[in-house]
Amino acid sequence: MLVQFPFDNELIACIRKVQGATFSASYKSWHVPNSSETMDDLKRVFAGVALIEVPGVQTGHTSDEKNDVLSGEQKMEDRPGNSLIDESQESIVLTQIMKFTRWMEQKRYSASTIKTYTDALRVFFRFHRGTAVEKISNQDVVRFNNEYILENHYSVTYQSQVINSIKLFYRRIQEKELNIEKIDRPRRQHKLPNVLSKEEVSAILKAPKNIKHQAMLSLIYSCGLRRSEMLKLKPSDVDSRRNLLIIRNSKGFKDRVAPLSDKTIAMLRSYYKVYKPKVWLFEGQYAGEPYSEQSLQNVFKHALKAARIVKPATLHWLRHSYATHLLENGTDLRYIQEILGHKSSRTTEIYTHVTNKSLQKITSPFDLLDI
């Protein structure tokens, strides 16, 4: 039996407890022996953690219904005309999604985009269970938007991702145009980037005792890197003679360079002498293996704790902070755009709303009152 669920460490830990569970790299899913004993095992290990749904059979759901193991969606009440899809329909849907995945891989979509789009499609087709893929219409997309996304109060970002994935799937795989433009998209949110103060950044970068951990976090901040860009760096990308870091094949398949300070180069040299990486600038537990995203997240999490910063900061906050601090130091916005690799200057301009250099010069009228 194929067992599918979105990436979640807790769910992975549960499935590992099932006897005979094996991960399939080709289907990017787990499979287990098809037996009543295995089903009892699944119920036991996922009790209180996930809802188990089997095509053709609805097993009892748990108290909190945190996850739907097979479909990767939260529990929905059965609706008229939406009976559980049979195994043949499930196979057709899975084949179509795998075809879409291969197309995106050939087009060199990023791994995160592929995962986001395929996960969204699984949820969409599970909602329309019983309806053939080729029979889906604009009205079905509207109903999914109203009855699933809006009713469950999912984010604006998720809503846009689902619409984009559906539109791309039908245009490229089904060769059918859904008139997505008729579907009301959410109003674009204008959120300000989260920024740490220079003192907070300094505390975070000083926190790690391991030179490797310190070098990774310092490089992200000192060059305004995305997490994926830092993990894909190779030793040859560090041009110490010209004080440049070469960032290859970043977002949008673009190469760019970022200035490297003497202080950063000195730290990288100290790190290199100790670890001597062979393939990647920062390698994992084994030589030639890239450092994992999860391990990097843990490094940052421990640094936050050691620095006693209680803000819900993420690694991307370091990139936002770098851009904001550059702007406060008087760096031209056009240079910041090039360093960060932004396609549009409008993306970079958002940092002008969080810099405090000009705001601090403003005198509040409250201070002028005689009270």
351 is catalytic: yes
The single residue of 172, 226, 234, 256 carrying the catalytic annotation is 226
Angstrom distance (rounded) from CA 319 to CA 201:
11
319 is catalytic: yes
CB pairs under 8 A, 24+ apart, for 49-57? 49/10, 49/11, 49/14, 50/5, 50/11, 50/14, 51/75, 53/84, 54/1, 55/84, 55/85, 55/86, 55/87, 55/90, 56/84, 56/86, 56/87, 57/84
Angstrom distance (rounded) from CA 123 to CA 112:
17
Residues 232/290, Cβ–Cβ less than 8 Å: yes
DSSP per-residue string spanning 6-38: ---HHHHHHHTTSTT-EEETTTTEEE---SHHH
227 is catalytic: no
The single residue of 117, 148, 271, 351 carrying the catalytic annotation is 351
254 is catalytic: no
Question: At residue 68, what are phi and psi to the nearest 5 degrees?
Answer: -105, 110
The single residue of 122, 319, 320, 325 carrying the catalytic annotation is 319
Angstrom distance (rounded) from CA 122 to CA 93:
8
The single residue of 251, 256, 275, 302 carrying the catalytic annotation is 251
342 is catalytic: yes
Residues 249/255, Cβ–Cβ less than 8 Å: yes
251 is catalytic: yes
Angstrom distance (rounded) from CA 302 to CA 304:
5
Q: Which residues are catalytic?
A: 226, 251, 316, 319, 342, 351
